[in-house]
Amino acid sequence: ASAAGSKSTIGLIPADGIGREVIPAARDVLEAVAPNKFNFVHLDAGFEHFQKTGVALPDETVERLKGECAGALFGAVSSPSHKVAGYSSPIVALRKKMDLYANVRPVASPVGATGTPIDMLIIRENTECLYIKSERLETLPDGTKIAWADRKITETASKRIGRMAFRMALQRGAIREARRARGETVAWEGKPRVTVVHKSNVLSVSDGLFRESVLSVRNGEDKAFKDDVDLEEQLVDSMVYRMFREPHKFDVAVAPNLYGDIISDGAAALVGSLGVVASANVGDSFVLGEPVHGSAPDIAGRGIANPVAAIRSAALLLEHMGLDAEATRIHSAVDKVLSEQAAILTPDLGGKGTTRGVTDAVIKAL
Protein backbone atom coordinates (compact mmCIF):
# COMPACT_ATOMS: atom_id res chain seq x y z
CA ALA A 1 0.00 0.00 0.00
CA SER A 2 2.96 2.41 0.31
CA ALA A 3 5.04 3.41 -2.67
CA ALA A 4 8.81 3.25 -2.14
CA GLY A 5 10.28 6.57 -1.14
CA SER A 6 6.93 8.05 -0.20
CA LYS A 7 5.58 8.14 3.33
CA SER A 8 4.17 4.93 4.79
CA THR A 9 0.73 5.17 6.25
CA ILE A 10 0.20 3.63 9.67
CA GLY A 11 -3.27 3.02 11.01
CA LEU A 12 -3.85 3.88 14.66
CA ILE A 13 -6.75 2.19 16.43
CA PRO A 14 -6.63 3.27 20.07
CA ALA A 15 -10.03 1.67 20.82
CA ASP A 16 -10.90 1.72 24.54
CA GLY A 17 -9.59 2.81 27.92
CA ILE A 18 -5.83 3.18 28.19
CA GLY A 19 -5.58 2.30 24.49
CA ARG A 20 -6.30 6.01 24.00
CA GLU A 21 -3.30 6.93 26.10
CA VAL A 22 -0.68 4.43 24.98
CA ILE A 23 -1.30 4.58 21.23
CA PRO A 24 -0.59 8.34 21.04
CA ALA A 25 2.57 7.63 23.04
CA ALA A 26 3.65 4.99 20.53
CA ARG A 27 2.87 7.34 17.65
CA ASP A 28 5.10 10.04 19.16
CA VAL A 29 7.94 7.55 19.41
CA LEU A 30 7.46 6.45 15.79
CA GLU A 31 7.50 10.07 14.66
CA ALA A 32 10.64 10.72 16.70
CA VAL A 33 12.54 7.69 15.44
CA ALA A 34 11.75 8.43 11.79
CA PRO A 35 10.61 12.02 11.40
CA ASN A 36 8.22 12.62 8.50
CA LYS A 37 8.43 9.02 7.43
CA PHE A 38 4.90 8.07 8.43
CA ASN A 39 1.39 9.29 7.83
CA PHE A 40 -0.88 8.37 10.69
CA VAL A 41 -4.57 7.74 10.19
CA HIS A 42 -6.90 7.40 13.14
CA LEU A 43 -9.39 4.55 12.83
CA ASP A 44 -12.36 3.63 14.98
CA ALA A 45 -13.15 0.40 16.81
CA GLY A 46 -13.94 -0.72 20.32
CA PHE A 47 -16.64 -1.18 22.89
CA GLU A 48 -17.06 2.55 23.44
CA HIS A 49 -17.48 3.00 19.70
CA PHE A 50 -20.05 0.20 19.77
CA GLN A 51 -21.95 1.93 22.54
CA LYS A 52 -22.10 5.12 20.50
CA THR A 53 -22.80 3.66 17.06
CA GLY A 54 -23.89 0.03 17.45
CA VAL A 55 -20.80 -1.14 15.55
CA ALA A 56 -17.63 -2.45 17.24
CA LEU A 57 -15.51 -2.69 14.11
CA PRO A 58 -16.63 -0.36 11.30
CA ASP A 59 -16.18 -1.66 7.74
CA GLU A 60 -14.36 1.57 6.99
CA THR A 61 -11.64 0.65 9.48
CA VAL A 62 -10.98 -2.67 7.76
CA GLU A 63 -11.16 -1.12 4.28
CA ARG A 64 -8.74 1.66 5.09
CA LEU A 65 -6.32 -0.73 6.78
CA LYS A 66 -6.35 -2.88 3.66
CA GLY A 67 -6.36 -0.01 1.17
CA GLU A 68 -4.16 2.63 2.69
CA CYS A 69 -2.02 1.29 5.47
CA ALA A 70 1.38 -0.38 5.51
CA GLY A 71 0.70 -1.57 9.05
CA ALA A 72 -1.21 -0.54 12.15
CA LEU A 73 -1.28 -0.31 15.93
CA PHE A 74 -4.20 -1.40 18.05
CA GLY A 75 -4.68 -0.18 21.63
CA ALA A 76 -6.93 -2.27 23.82
CA VAL A 77 -10.53 -3.25 23.96
CA SER A 78 -12.94 -3.25 26.89
CA SER A 79 -14.80 -6.45 27.61
CA PRO A 80 -18.27 -6.09 29.03
CA SER A 81 -18.61 -8.86 31.61
CA HIS A 82 -22.29 -9.28 30.78
CA LYS A 83 -23.44 -10.40 27.36
CA VAL A 84 -24.27 -7.42 25.13
CA ALA A 85 -26.51 -8.15 22.17
CA GLY A 86 -24.74 -7.47 18.89
CA TYR A 87 -21.33 -6.86 20.42
CA SER A 88 -18.38 -8.99 19.50
CA SER A 89 -14.71 -8.32 20.21
CA PRO A 90 -13.30 -6.10 17.42
CA ILE A 91 -9.74 -7.33 17.91
CA VAL A 92 -10.76 -10.95 17.42
CA ALA A 93 -12.68 -9.88 14.30
CA LEU A 94 -9.76 -7.81 12.97
CA ARG A 95 -7.33 -10.70 13.32
CA LYS A 96 -9.69 -12.86 11.31
CA LYS A 97 -10.72 -10.31 8.67
CA MET A 98 -7.12 -9.33 7.92
CA ASP A 99 -5.94 -12.95 8.18
CA LEU A 100 -3.35 -12.01 10.80
CA TYR A 101 -2.72 -15.63 11.53
CA ALA A 102 0.11 -15.36 14.04
CA ASN A 103 0.20 -13.47 17.28
CA VAL A 104 3.87 -13.10 18.07
CA ARG A 105 4.64 -12.24 21.68
CA PRO A 106 8.23 -11.76 22.84
CA VAL A 107 8.52 -11.96 26.63
CA ALA A 108 11.89 -11.05 28.07
CA SER A 109 13.20 -9.97 31.44
CA PRO A 110 14.09 -6.32 31.62
CA VAL A 111 17.79 -5.63 31.04
CA GLY A 112 19.65 -5.75 34.32
CA ALA A 113 16.87 -7.60 36.16
CA THR A 114 17.99 -9.90 38.93
CA GLY A 115 17.29 -13.62 38.81
CA THR A 116 17.40 -16.01 35.89
CA PRO A 117 16.83 -14.09 32.68
CA ILE A 118 13.77 -15.04 30.65
CA ASP A 119 13.73 -14.63 26.92
CA MET A 120 10.78 -16.39 25.33
CA LEU A 121 8.89 -15.89 22.14
CA ILE A 122 5.31 -17.07 22.23
CA ILE A 123 3.69 -17.71 18.90
CA ARG A 124 -0.04 -17.98 19.19
CA GLU A 125 -2.27 -19.20 16.38
CA ASN A 126 -4.61 -16.30 15.83
CA THR A 127 -7.53 -17.34 13.63
CA GLU A 128 -9.14 -20.53 14.86
CA CYS A 129 -9.58 -22.78 17.94
CA LEU A 130 -12.52 -21.67 20.12
CA TYR A 131 -11.97 -18.14 18.81
CA ILE A 132 -14.07 -18.91 15.74
CA LYS A 133 -16.93 -18.14 18.14
CA SER A 134 -19.29 -20.67 16.69
CA GLU A 135 -21.63 -21.15 19.63
CA ARG A 136 -25.21 -22.27 20.17
CA LEU A 137 -27.62 -22.17 23.06
CA GLU A 138 -30.32 -24.82 23.37
CA THR A 139 -33.00 -25.55 25.88
CA LEU A 140 -33.22 -29.10 27.16
CA PRO A 141 -36.53 -30.90 27.68
CA ASP A 142 -36.28 -30.13 31.42
CA GLY A 143 -36.18 -26.42 30.63
CA THR A 144 -32.51 -25.88 31.52
CA LYS A 145 -29.99 -24.49 29.08
CA ILE A 146 -27.09 -26.12 27.33
CA ALA A 147 -24.42 -24.28 25.36
CA TRP A 148 -22.13 -25.63 22.67
CA ALA A 149 -19.00 -24.09 21.23
CA ASP A 150 -17.06 -25.45 18.27
CA ARG A 151 -13.32 -25.70 18.41
CA LYS A 152 -11.77 -25.77 14.97
CA ILE A 153 -8.19 -26.80 14.22
CA THR A 154 -7.00 -27.10 10.64
CA GLU A 155 -3.90 -28.72 9.26
CA THR A 156 -3.25 -25.67 7.07
CA ALA A 157 -3.34 -23.11 9.89
CA SER A 158 -1.39 -25.39 12.22
CA LYS A 159 1.35 -25.95 9.66
CA ARG A 160 1.47 -22.26 8.86
CA ILE A 161 1.97 -21.35 12.52
CA GLY A 162 4.44 -24.19 12.99
CA ARG A 163 6.49 -22.94 10.06
CA MET A 164 6.54 -19.47 11.59
CA ALA A 165 7.75 -20.94 14.90
CA PHE A 166 10.67 -22.79 13.30
CA ARG A 167 11.61 -19.77 11.19
CA MET A 168 11.56 -17.49 14.20
CA ALA A 169 13.56 -20.00 16.22
CA LEU A 170 16.26 -20.05 13.53
CA GLN A 171 16.21 -16.26 13.30
CA ARG A 172 16.60 -15.92 17.06
CA GLY A 173 19.41 -18.45 16.96
CA ALA A 174 21.22 -16.42 14.29
CA ILE A 175 20.82 -13.22 16.32
CA ARG A 176 22.24 -14.95 19.40
CA GLU A 177 25.18 -16.24 17.36
CA ALA A 178 25.92 -12.74 16.13
CA ARG A 179 25.75 -11.41 19.68
CA ARG A 180 28.05 -14.11 20.92
CA ALA A 181 30.47 -13.32 18.11
CA ARG A 182 30.50 -9.71 19.32
CA GLY A 183 31.45 -10.95 22.78
CA GLU A 184 28.05 -10.28 24.38
CA THR A 185 26.64 -12.64 27.01
CA VAL A 186 23.73 -14.63 25.70
CA ALA A 187 21.63 -16.56 28.18
CA TRP A 188 20.41 -19.36 25.93
CA GLU A 189 23.16 -21.92 25.40
CA GLY A 190 22.13 -24.67 23.03
CA LYS A 191 20.32 -24.93 19.73
CA PRO A 192 17.17 -22.92 19.19
CA ARG A 193 14.22 -24.77 20.64
CA VAL A 194 10.54 -24.90 19.75
CA THR A 195 8.09 -26.04 22.44
CA VAL A 196 4.78 -27.23 21.01
CA VAL A 197 1.99 -26.63 23.50
CA HIS A 198 -1.15 -28.76 23.32
CA LYS A 199 -3.43 -31.01 25.32
CA SER A 200 -3.49 -34.03 23.07
CA ASN A 201 -3.75 -36.39 26.04
CA VAL A 202 -7.37 -35.27 26.21
CA LEU A 203 -8.05 -33.71 22.80
CA SER A 204 -6.38 -36.41 20.75
CA VAL A 205 -8.12 -35.43 17.52
CA SER A 206 -7.99 -31.62 17.52
CA ASP A 207 -4.83 -31.04 19.53
CA GLY A 208 -3.56 -34.20 17.92
CA LEU A 209 -3.90 -32.53 14.53
CA PHE A 210 -2.22 -29.36 15.78
CA ARG A 211 0.65 -31.38 17.18
CA GLU A 212 1.11 -33.57 14.11
CA SER A 213 0.95 -30.62 11.76
CA VAL A 214 3.64 -28.71 13.62
CA LEU A 215 5.78 -31.84 13.77
CA SER A 216 5.30 -32.56 10.08
CA VAL A 217 6.58 -29.09 9.18
CA ARG A 218 9.73 -29.89 11.07
CA ASN A 219 10.18 -33.18 9.33
CA GLY A 220 9.27 -32.11 5.85
CA GLU A 221 10.00 -28.67 4.59
CA ASP A 222 13.26 -27.00 5.45
CA LYS A 223 16.17 -29.19 6.49
CA ALA A 224 17.30 -26.58 8.98
CA PHE A 225 14.00 -26.93 10.86
CA LYS A 226 15.07 -30.39 11.84
CA ASP A 227 18.83 -30.14 11.93
CA ASP A 228 19.15 -26.82 13.70
CA VAL A 229 16.09 -26.63 15.95
CA ASP A 230 15.32 -28.79 18.98
CA LEU A 231 11.74 -29.80 19.48
CA GLU A 232 9.92 -30.30 22.75
CA GLU A 233 6.27 -30.95 23.56
CA GLN A 234 4.41 -29.67 26.56
CA LEU A 235 0.86 -30.19 27.76
CA VAL A 236 -0.69 -26.78 28.36
CA ASP A 237 -1.24 -27.35 32.08
CA SER A 238 2.35 -28.39 32.73
CA MET A 239 3.49 -25.60 30.41
CA VAL A 240 2.05 -23.07 32.84
CA TYR A 241 3.64 -24.95 35.72
CA ARG A 242 7.05 -25.17 34.09
CA MET A 243 6.99 -21.58 32.87
CA PHE A 244 6.89 -20.54 36.50
CA ARG A 245 9.37 -23.06 37.74
CA GLU A 246 11.98 -22.84 35.01
CA PRO A 247 11.07 -20.08 32.55
CA HIS A 248 14.64 -19.85 31.31
CA LYS A 249 14.22 -23.28 29.71
CA PHE A 250 11.96 -21.94 26.97
CA ASP A 251 12.96 -20.33 23.72
CA VAL A 252 10.06 -20.33 21.21
CA ALA A 253 6.67 -21.71 22.23
CA VAL A 254 3.92 -22.33 19.70
CA ALA A 255 0.31 -22.88 20.72
CA PRO A 256 -3.27 -22.97 19.49
CA ASN A 257 -5.18 -19.73 20.04
CA LEU A 258 -6.65 -20.13 23.54
CA TYR A 259 -3.60 -21.79 25.11
CA GLY A 260 -1.47 -19.07 23.54
CA ASP A 261 -3.69 -16.43 25.10
CA ILE A 262 -3.32 -17.97 28.54
CA ILE A 263 0.39 -18.74 28.50
CA SER A 264 1.30 -15.29 27.25
CA ASP A 265 -0.46 -13.63 30.17
CA GLY A 266 1.35 -16.10 32.42
CA ALA A 267 4.68 -15.20 30.84
CA ALA A 268 3.91 -11.51 31.25
CA ALA A 269 3.62 -12.01 35.00
CA LEU A 270 7.20 -13.30 34.96
CA VAL A 271 8.69 -10.13 33.56
CA GLY A 272 7.19 -7.72 35.98
CA SER A 273 4.07 -6.39 34.31
CA LEU A 274 1.63 -6.85 31.45
CA GLY A 275 2.45 -3.21 30.82
CA VAL A 276 5.72 -4.12 29.12
CA VAL A 277 4.64 -7.02 26.90
CA ALA A 278 4.17 -6.27 23.22
CA SER A 279 2.73 -8.33 20.42
CA ALA A 280 2.45 -8.34 16.67
CA ASN A 281 -0.52 -9.81 14.84
CA VAL A 282 1.20 -11.02 11.70
CA GLY A 283 -0.23 -11.98 8.33
CA ASP A 284 1.46 -12.59 5.01
CA SER A 285 1.07 -8.97 3.97
CA PHE A 286 0.04 -6.98 7.02
CA VAL A 287 1.11 -6.48 10.63
CA LEU A 288 -0.91 -5.07 13.49
CA GLY A 289 1.07 -4.17 16.62
CA GLU A 290 -0.86 -4.62 19.87
CA PRO A 291 0.13 -4.39 23.52
CA VAL A 292 -0.83 -7.58 25.35
CA HIS A 293 -2.51 -5.66 28.18
CA GLY A 294 -6.20 -4.77 28.24
CA SER A 295 -8.03 -1.46 28.44
CA ALA A 296 -7.52 -1.23 32.23
CA PRO A 297 -10.69 0.71 33.11
CA ASP A 298 -9.40 1.07 36.68
CA ILE A 299 -6.61 3.43 35.64
CA ALA A 300 -7.91 4.78 32.31
CA GLY A 301 -7.92 8.56 31.95
CA ARG A 302 -5.37 9.13 34.69
CA GLY A 303 -2.30 9.42 32.50
CA ILE A 304 -0.42 6.69 34.35
CA ALA A 305 -0.75 3.78 31.91
CA ASN A 306 2.56 2.17 31.02
CA PRO A 307 3.27 3.02 27.36
CA VAL A 308 6.13 0.51 27.07
CA ALA A 309 4.03 -2.36 25.66
CA ALA A 310 2.55 -0.09 22.97
CA ILE A 311 5.96 1.44 22.18
CA ARG A 312 7.54 -1.99 21.86
CA SER A 313 4.59 -3.08 19.71
CA ALA A 314 5.41 -0.17 17.41
CA ALA A 315 8.98 -1.48 17.23
CA LEU A 316 7.70 -4.95 16.32
CA LEU A 317 5.64 -3.33 13.58
CA LEU A 318 8.73 -1.60 12.21
CA GLU A 319 10.67 -4.88 12.23
CA HIS A 320 7.98 -6.47 10.14
CA MET A 321 8.01 -3.47 7.79
CA GLY A 322 11.73 -4.04 7.27
CA LEU A 323 12.79 -1.03 9.35
CA ASP A 324 15.11 -3.00 11.61
CA ALA A 325 17.47 -0.19 12.53
CA GLU A 326 14.61 2.01 13.75
CA ALA A 327 13.09 -0.92 15.65
CA THR A 328 16.39 -1.62 17.39
CA ARG A 329 16.75 2.03 18.37
CA ILE A 330 13.32 1.95 19.99
CA HIS A 331 14.03 -1.28 21.90
CA SER A 332 17.39 0.04 23.11
CA ALA A 333 15.87 3.30 24.24
CA VAL A 334 13.16 1.44 26.15
CA ASP A 335 15.76 -0.87 27.73
CA LYS A 336 17.73 2.14 28.82
CA VAL A 337 14.76 3.89 30.39
CA LEU A 338 13.62 0.72 32.15
CA SER A 339 17.03 -0.01 33.59
CA GLU A 340 18.28 3.47 34.41
CA GLN A 341 15.28 5.58 35.27
CA ALA A 342 13.29 3.68 37.89
CA ALA A 343 12.03 6.97 39.32
CA ILE A 344 10.01 7.86 36.24
CA LEU A 345 8.42 4.43 35.65
CA THR A 346 4.66 3.96 35.90
CA PRO A 347 2.94 2.48 38.98
CA ASP A 348 2.64 -1.06 37.52
CA LEU A 349 6.45 -1.17 37.70
CA GLY A 350 6.53 0.27 41.18
CA GLY A 351 7.20 3.86 40.10
CA LYS A 352 5.26 7.09 40.38
CA GLY A 353 5.69 8.21 36.80
CA THR A 354 3.29 8.98 33.98
CA THR A 355 2.63 7.84 30.42
CA ARG A 356 3.97 11.16 29.18
CA GLY A 357 7.09 11.04 31.33
CA VAL A 358 8.05 7.54 30.16
CA THR A 359 7.31 8.43 26.53
CA ASP A 360 9.44 11.57 26.66
CA ALA A 361 12.27 9.66 28.31
CA VAL A 362 12.17 7.00 25.57
CA ILE A 363 12.20 9.68 22.88
CA LYS A 364 15.15 11.36 24.54
CA ALA A 365 17.01 8.05 24.75
CA LEU A 366 16.50 7.19 21.06
Ligand X SMILES: CC(C)[C@H](C(=O)O)[C@@H](O)C(=O)O
Q: Does 152 bind a second copy (CB under 8 A)?
A: yes
Residue of 60, 63, 155, 237 interacting with ligand X (CB under 6 A): 237
Residue of 80, 112, 220, 322 interacting with a second copy (CB under 8 A): 80
Q: Does 92 bind a second copy (CB under 8 A)?
A: yes
Tell me which residues in 202-221 interact with ligand X (CB under 6 A): 202
Q: Does 107 bind ligand X (CB under 6 A)?
A: no
d(CA 18, CA 357): 15
Nearer to ligand X, 87 or 188 (CB): 87
Residue 130 contacts which entry, ligand X, a second copy, none (Cβ below 5-8 A, type-dependent): a second copy
d(CA 222, CA 205): 26
Nearer to a second copy, 55 or 258 (CB): 258
Q: From the CB of 225, what's the least distance to a second copy, in Å?
A: 19
Q: Does 163 bind a second copy (CB under 8 A)?
A: no
Residue 136 contacts which entry, ligand X, a second copy, none (Cβ below 5-8 A, type-dependent): a second copy
d(CA 194, CA 36): 39
d(CA 23, CA 9): 15
Q: Does 261 bind ligand X (CB under 6 A)?
A: yes
Are 289 and 160 in contact, with CB atoms under 8 Å apart?
no
Q: Does 89 bind ligand X (CB under 6 A)?
A: yes
Nearer to a second copy, 222 or 233 (CB): 233
d(CA 366, CA 358): 12
Q: Does 129 bind ligand X (CB under 6 A)?
A: no
Nearer to ligand X, 107 or 337 (CB): 107
Q: Does 201 bind ligand X (CB under 6 A)?
A: yes
**Exposed, middle or buried: residue 31 (CB in 10 Å: 0-12, 13-18, 19+)?**
middle
Q: Does 148 bind a second copy (CB under 8 A)?
A: yes
Q: Does 269 bind a second copy (CB under 8 A)?
A: yes
Q: Does 110 bind a second copy (CB under 8 A)?
A: no
Are 282 and 104 in contact, with CB atoms under 8 Å apart?
yes
Are 160 and 214 in contact, with CB atoms under 8 Å apart?
no
Residue 105 contacts which entry, ligand X, a second copy, none (Cβ below 5-8 A, type-dependent): none
d(CA 358, CA 34): 19
Tell me which residues in 278-337 interact with ligand X (CB under 6 A): 292
DSSP 187: S
Q: From the CB of 349, what's the least distance to ligand X, in Å?
A: 20
CA angle, 48 then 51 then 56, to 5°: 70
Q: Which among 28-36, 86-94, 266-274, 327-335 is the span making contact with ligand X, rule CB under 6 A?
A: 86-94
**Exposed, middle or buried: residue 64 (CB in 10 Å: 0-12, 13-18, 19+)?**
middle
d(CA 348, CA 329): 24
Q: Does 221 bind a second copy (CB under 8 A)?
A: no
Are 151 and 130 in contact, with CB atoms under 8 Å apart?
yes
Residue 111 contacts which entry, ligand X, a second copy, none (Cβ below 5-8 A, type-dependent): none
| Strands 287-291 and 278-282, bridge-based pairing | antiparallel
Q: State the residues that interact with ligand X by CB under 6 A.
A: 77, 79, 89, 91-92, 201-202, 237, 261, 292
